[in-house]
Structure 1
Amino acid sequence: MSHAASQAEAITDTRSSSEVRETYRKIAWRLLPFLFLAYAVNSIDRINISFAKLRMAHDLGLSDAAYAFGATAFFVGYILFEIPGNLYMQRVGARATLTRIMILWGVVTTLTGFVNTPTHLYIARFALGVAEAGFFPGVILYLTYWFPSWKRGRVTAIFFMAGFVAGMVSGPLAGAIMTGLEGWQGMKGWQTLFVLEGLPAVALGAFAWFWLDDNPARVTWLTDRQKAIVVENLRLDQASRATESQSFGQVIRDPRAYIPGIVFFTLYSGTNTVAYWMPSLLQSVGITDLRRIGVIASGPYVLAMAAMYLLGRSSDRHLERRWHLAATMLTAAASFWLMHVLQADVLLSTLFMTIGAAACLAAVPLFWTIPPAFFSANAAAGGIALVSSIGSLAAVLSPVTVGAIKTHTGSLYVAFDVIGCMLLVGTVALLAGIPAARLHERQA
């Protein structure tokens, strides 16, 4: 037996040897803190408009429907450029792509602080969507270059924790900036919010050029043996689950490729509604203090962090994703319905709103372990971006839908009832349309 063959055999003897654990620990500590911070800043820059709206609406003359249109404009730009962005990342590499994306979205966020009409806001949000396009699916794809499928549940969960941390701090941070820095440099509080929260993305983008590597084969911070472990595990992982090879053109013509997108569409409808309308719902029940709204709105993210990590760990251990995800989505749906039923009791209604929002948020990282296993390696970039784009349609439609429901019924509770029904539909699509065998979840 050759040295290379014996090395490969040694690598694949176990997933839990100290050598393998040390290799992936080193990779995790190199990549995840930076990606974690980048996603946290990304999430803050995306949802800060929900807090700015509480003061910006008066200054710009924004109705609820106009605000919803502004929130939607972001996702129009995002969807239009998401698939091209991910396909382009495969060609030029993650380092160049993520550097460009972060610098551009930071600049656009900062400039949003200087809009003075609803039309300017629509243009700024569209431009932010174009700038951000490809970041999220690009990171999901990037993780597949380093971690095999049996590691991705926990890794994806850790990455998504950044979004939850952002949700926890964005409210209190926005409240502090908008009240404490009102009048700073002659700007109103909501203007200061956009300016100060856009600058960190520019700095992170510049740092990404020097910190990220496109793949494990040529890095200098892994030993040759560690690089061999990573490359061999990725090769074996792909060989064990890829039963068919598809080009991106074949993927978009395959009806099965749209099922994960449908599931994500229903799930993203829930998370998007939580992110953009929870502050308004809290305000509608009589909570007017911005700091208090920010603190309460951070509650679901605290609960979701714990749930998300436990779900990721359990699904990795059992190599099972579908039923873990289905149970979480049903919990969110039931909680949103109960939130409406118990609306007369502010405490209980807020409790179920928190549980439903947390379940919805915790389901997202679990979902994103599915598309990389669902698509073959050569179709992964386009397939992941396709799923993300379909889901992002929810971000275009849900603000408009929620705004219309709120305008016609005067109640946001009805909108959350609709979201609960959509989550039920998504659960059925998941269990009926994505068989476990296609994900190759259970390995011998």
Structure 2
Amino acid sequence: MNSNEPNLQSAMDWLTRMVDGCLKVYFGHSEKFEVPALSFYDNEGWLADLLERQKPNYQEFTLLMLALAAHLQPNLLNKLIAGYLPEGGDFPEFGGVKGANHRGLLPTGETAQFILAGDDLGKRLEVQRILGSDHWFAQQKMLWLEPVPEGEPVMSGRLVLDAEVVECLTVGAVSKPRFSMDFPAEYIETQMDWNDLVLHPNTSRQIREIEQWIKHNDTLLFEWGMKKKIKPGYRALFYGPPGTGKTLTATLLGKQTGKDVFRIDLSRVVSKYIGETEKNLSRLFDKAENKNWILFFDEADALFGKRTEIRDAHDKYANQEVAYLLQRIESYNGLVILASNQRGNIDEAFVRRFQAIVHFPIPGPEERAEIWRKTFPAQIRIHKDLDWDKVASRYELSGANILNITHYCALQCLAGDVLMIDLNRLETAIQRELIKEGKVF
């Protein structure tokens, strides 16, 4: 059972009594209404944690539960109103709107004012203040009013509870976002660990520095008082040829430090339509805010390439897109990694914004020999004529190339039922990989 469930049931029962009491007064069935007592079960659910952390007053709690009610009891408001208007009819004082798919009544700011303030102007303005941009609801992106068409009352906007808050309250955890047009990023993970990755010593040293930032950043900012002096977050550029471990390193950084890694598909972010790229980026960063995710922008040249001189409106807006992305990256309080095949592809004006610029070179002979030894599965025996040091010296291959070759060799061994690799079979596989890459053997 969801640990929030007992408290949610109590909260929905309490909200029902609240709304019913207000309706009784409005329709003359009662002279006054007192806020009913609310008791909670002592547990460690997300709702209990929220109450302890934020200590909402009864108006704030009412707003939260009112916005949540449609997710738990879709007919709650309709059923209560039908008890006083059995023949139906217009009830503008109560507010509420119909959704595109939802068949019940969705509460608005006016609904909240009816329940919490009635006709009391001062109390109605207080509800409006709670739903304003200065309140912790808005600052924490937890609860807000849906924008309304120009000229219509602000409080006629629908009460919107953040989808992740709804998930926390209803199922007890937030699921990872799925790749979509609204979230053009893919969650990436690996079963490999650092021992499976072979990097140049200088590259490894710089990756350890990024790990140190992840580990000690909170202490530096909050305990050592550096928050007012340095910008939040950390920005790194990984550059080097394809197949040299840039993506795997980013994934392992997340695995090692317990942070989710999302690879951004810039082809889905960049739009030919003016303003759409900024909207796509805004949705992405709004979703990532305060999650401590690692954002990995693969093939970042698409947005961070050398800026052009402004010759026409297209150049102007392209530069605006880059400026917007820079602003969002610099304000993001987590780790952002940009990957490029060549450092020279990245505008030097952007390079100043990175705390780390990490080169991923084609592995040298020593690294290649180590990759060969680590990549072949233990089930395959290595013939005595095969010297990994000599193979590594002769063939300049990336780690991805070596993995492809190993994959091919392993399948050939299984197909032929001969679990041994010799130099001849290995070089045949290497030749196949080089031809595929368009290189002369």
Give the shorter-chain TM-score range: under 0.3
TM-score (norm 2): 0.26
Higher strand share: 2
TM-score (norm 1): 0.26
Which structure is higher in RCO with an 8 Å CA cutoff and minimum separation 6?
Answer: 1
Higher helix share: 1
**Greater Cα radius of gyration, structure 1 or 2:** 2
